[in-house]
Copies of this chain bind each other. A is one copy, B any other.
């Protein structure tokens, strides 16, 4: 028999989301999170560098997106390459099982500035990753910057719609549609 329950980080994240929903982010203590997960403060900080990060565990996202961009057909334009990356993300990360969790998580995020701040940083770092990936495709720097910013916007729009409970479309098609809309809007700027 195992000495410890499995998946400590997962239990911590789940406990945290529950408590944040129940009492709000600021009013719940790291100690409370750890206790609900059957652990202690020490262990919490062993897995997460700070309290906010417990809601940002999935660090594989950037990697998947970058891979997707890299493996787009060489002839594809920069924005199409980003679309390819988003598509890849939709198939491996934004799966149906993750949808409900993502929605709950996002509601908590939107409600607390401290968490929105962390989200903002993640988005910027992600945009930087996209720029790098495009750079490796030979896209000129400025074009890469523009494509990454637009790609980030496409992501936001598609993600919002994907989370929306009235909706049950997969992430991939949503991203494709959002991309087309953004492109059309960009043409009239």
Q: Across the interface, which residues of B come within 8 angstroms of A140, CB to CB? A: 185
Q: How far is the CA of A183 from the CA of B189 in the complex (A)?
A: 8
Q: Across the interface, which residues of B come within 8 angstroms of A153, CB to CB? A: 145-146, 149
Kindly report which residue of chain B lies nearest to residue A189, judged by CB atoms: B79
> Is A147 part of the contact surface with B, judged by Cβ < 8 Å?
yes
Counting contact residues on chain A (CB < 8 A from B), the size range is 20 to 34
Q: Given A120-B120, A149-B149, A149-B153 in contact, is the A142-B182 Cβ separation under 8 Å?
A: yes
> Is A176 part of the contact surface with B, judged by Cβ < 8 Å?
no
Q: Across the interface, which residues of B come within 8 angstroms of A124, CB to CB? A: 116, 120, 123
Interface residues, chain A, CB within 8 Å of chain B? 77-79, 113, 116-118, 120-121, 123-124, 140, 142-143, 145-147, 149-150, 152-153, 157, 181-183, 185-186, 188-189
| Selected A-B contacts with CB under 8 Å, 14 pairs | A77-B189, A79-B189, A117-B117, A117-B120, A117-B121, A120-B123, A120-B124, A142-B182, A146-B150, A146-B186, A147-B189, A149-B149, A186-B186, A186-B189
